[in-house]
Chain A
Amino acid sequence: GIQVEQSPPDLILQEGANSTLRCNFSDSVNNLQWFHQNPWGQLINLFYIPSGTKQNGRLSATTVATERYSLLYISSSQTTDSGVYFCAVPPTEQRKLSFGAGTTVTVRA
């Protein structure tokens, strides 16, 4: 099946810093999503981004489908950005998603 690799596994930031999270995938995809899981376990969808660039406040994401990677940018990080960030892509079966192992982000005040 499709492999999804995220890096780095852990990231510690000082409040106000910028950072980039990476997601590599092993096969062509027509769908990629980024999720954030807060420290209390709640997962929410951040972006649906099969290609190109999208922005939502201080977060933006870029997917280069031809090179099989996606980047999530966090600018001017805040403590509320802490948590685990997952990327997910559909395997051959299009009705489900395969998740990466996640990047754990800790933002310190």
Chain B
Amino acid sequence: DVKVTQSSRYLVKRTGEKVFLECVQDMDHENMFWYRQDPGLGLRLIYFSYDVKMKEKGDIPEGYSVSREKKERFSLILESASTNQTSMYLCASSMTAVARDTQYFGPGTRLTVL
């Protein structure tokens, strides 16, 4: 079975802090994604990566950056956390860079910025 893990289930940070969210997949998938989930808005794509060191902006990249130095690991970085970044963050991976491929999701990180 594909396993996608995220570094924390719950995280509390203060405004202005630099925050790292880590995601690791164990199936040699090419594609990795970061979403945020807010009530009534569904999942919104922040960034995705289709190869090591490659990244593309999603629908809401402002205030975020990403890093993919190794194929299995995709990091989401909040350079200076703000209260409006309080949300559930979900990481996903898929085998290839084709939208019809199944996306496998991690358990999510619920981030609270005070």
Chain A residues within CB distance 8 Å of chain B: 1, 4, 9, 30-31, 33, 40-45, 48, 50, 86, 88, 90, 94-102
Main secondary structure of the interface of A (DSSP, over half): loop
Q: How many chain B residues touch A (Cβ–Cβ < 8 Å)?
A: 28
A21 to chain B, nearest CB (A): 14
Contact: A48 with B100, CB < 8 Å? yes
B-side residues, CB < 8 A to A, are: 31, 33, 35, 40-45, 48, 50, 56, 58-59, 88, 90, 92, 97-100, 102-105, 107-108, 110
A-B contact count (CB 8 A): 61
B99: nearest residue on chain A (CB-CB)?
A: A90
Contact check, A99 vs B43: say whether CB atoms are below 8 A apart: yes
Which chain A positions have C-beta within 8 A of B90? 41, 43
Given contacts A43-B105, A95-B48, A96-B48, contact A101 B41 (CB under 8 A): yes
Task: Give the chain A neighbours of B99 by CB distance below 8 A.
Answer: 31, 90, 94-97
**Min distance, Cβ B96 to any Cβ of chain A, angstroms:** 9
